[in-house]
């Protein structure tokens, strides 16, 4: 597939996978005005309520699909990469729905439960709850990191029945066990403990419904693997962290995807081993279009030819903008 874009080339000073990854922490999120935003509540059957923001373009274009953006681990509708992609799509007439996963961002206060990489049933429920008038032009979805993993799992589960016209995953951990092992390497200790602190804070914040044993287990976790072993796995009836990783890893489901899906990754991603993407047999499923770049980091892709991230432009082109 040709999207009429040059290959990704890093912008100074964000050279290398680590700096590309860290750049998101330092760049200013774009304002969305004059586009219009409103709160959307998606009430789940179990009592939890997912909160999302619906962003409508100031000058809409008839026939464009609604685009759902799904954040990554410890992210939310306010993450810089979500806001950046939202602005890029709004400027080309797309309506965007920024979804907070169960227990993330604004959804923390309205959800007792907690999201995890395999919780595709929440995305399935959210799709059904979105008002019908918003879906008249079709629906597309873009998932980042953990959100991308969830999206790929959902697409594989649904196959041709998935009610989406297109999908994109960016920097998704397609093998959860391999990614966790990689995050535990000494060279990734900064990332690992930063994420773990954020995960603990998020999982125990006001609104979370936890037993005293669960709260103690979360706060006592010394690694992400521990967190998944003592909290995520038992709460969601997995046999342990490795059982969770094995049953929910996207590579287990990707051959079943039938919706046109763009899969973006950087081989220098410090979080996700590049071999997971370079060794995958893409030729077995023509619904998948890999755009695996030598560089880009983890949800980075800050390029020299534009202040708009390379992935924002690729996604827009892929969706018809």
Tell me: the pLDDT tens digits for 172-221? Answer: 999 999 999 999 999 999 999 999 999 999 999 999 999 999 999 999 99
H-run or E-run covering 291? strand 288-293
Alpha helices in the chain (DSSP H): 17-22, 80-90, 120-129, 146-158, 176-183, 189-203, 212-220, 224-227, 233-235, 241-248, 275-278, 310-318
What is the average per-residue pLDDT within 59-73?
90
Instruction: Return the closest-CA partner of residue 130 out of 52, 38, 37.
Output: 52
Residue 245: band (very low, low, confident or very high) from pLDDT cuts 50, 70, 90: very high
Per the prediction, the chain carries an average pLDDT of 95
Q: Which of 17-31, 110-124, 183-197 has the lowest mean pLDDT?
A: 17-31
Angle between helices 176-183 and 241-248 (to 10 degrees): 130
Residue 310 has pLDDT above 90, yes or no: yes
pLDDT computed for residue 2 by the predictor: 57
> And the tokens for 173?
């951990």
With tokens 């914040």, the residue in question is 205
Residue 247: band (very low, low, confident or very high) from pLDDT cuts 50, 70, 90: very high
Q: How far apart are CA 20 and CA 229, in angstroms?
A: 30
What is the average per-residue pLDDT within 88-108?
97
Residue 16 has pLDDT above 90, yes or no: yes
Q: Quickly list DSSP for 57-113.
A: -SS--TTPPEEEEE--TT--TT-HHHHHHHHHHHTTT--EEEEPPTTSGGGGTT-SS
143 bridge partner residues: 70, 169
Q: How far apart are CA 85 and CA 32, in angstroms?
A: 11
pLDDT computed for residue 234 by the predictor: 98
What is the average per-residue pLDDT within 121-144?
97
Break the chain into its structural domains and give their ranges: 17-175+249-318, 185-248
Residue 141: band (very low, low, confident or very high) from pLDDT cuts 50, 70, 90: very high
Residue 6: band (very low, low, confident or very high) from pLDDT cuts 50, 70, 90: confident
Q: Which of 28-32, 57-61, 139-143, 294-298 has the lowest mean pLDDT?
A: 57-61
Residue 286: band (very low, low, confident or very high) from pLDDT cuts 50, 70, 90: very high
What is the average per-residue pLDDT within 130-134?
96
What is the average per-residue pLDDT within 232-236?
98
What is the average per-residue pLDDT within 228-235?
98
Q: Which CATH class is domain 17-175+249-318?
A: alpha beta
């Amino acid at each position: 597939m040709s999207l009429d874009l040059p290959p990704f080339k890093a912008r100074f000073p964000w050279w290398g996978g680590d700096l590309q990854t860290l750049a998101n922490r330092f760049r200013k999120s774009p304002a969305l005005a004059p586009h219009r935003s409103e709160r959307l509540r998606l009430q789940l059957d179990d009592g939890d309520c997912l909160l999302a923001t619906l962003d409508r373009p100031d000058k809409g274009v008839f026939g464009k699909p609604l685009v759902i953006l799904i954040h990554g681990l410890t992210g939310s509708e306010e993450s810089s990469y979500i806001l950046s992609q939202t602005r890029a799509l709004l400027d080309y007439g797309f309506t965007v729905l920024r979804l907070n996963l169960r227990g993330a961002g604004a959804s923390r206060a309205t959800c007792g439960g907690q999201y995890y990489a395999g919780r595709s049933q929440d995305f399935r429920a959210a799709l059904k709850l979105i008002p019908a008038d918003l879906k008249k032009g079709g629906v597309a979805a873009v998932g980042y990191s953990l959100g991308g993993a969830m999206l790929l799992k959902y697409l594989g589960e649904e196959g041709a029945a998935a009610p989406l016209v297109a999908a994109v995953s960016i920097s998704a951990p397609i093998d959860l066990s391999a990614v966790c092992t990689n995050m535990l390497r000494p060279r990734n200790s900064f990332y690992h403990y930063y994420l773990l602190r954020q995960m603990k804070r998020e999982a125990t914040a006001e609104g979370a419904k936890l037993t005293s044993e669960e709260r103690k287990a979360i706060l006592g976790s010394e690694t992400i693997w521990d967190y998944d072993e003592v909290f995520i796995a038992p709460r969601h009836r997995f046999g342990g962290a490795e059982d969770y990783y094995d049953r929910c890893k996207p590579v287990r489901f990707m051959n079943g995807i039938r919706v046109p899906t763009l899969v973006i990754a950087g081989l220098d991603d410090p979080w996700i081993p590049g071999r997971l993407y370079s060794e995958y047999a893409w030729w077995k499923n023509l619904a998948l279009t890999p755009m695996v770049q030598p560089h880009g980091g983890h949800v980075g892709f800050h390029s020299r030819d534009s202040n708009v991230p390379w992935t924002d432009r690729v996604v827009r082109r892929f969706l018809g903008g």
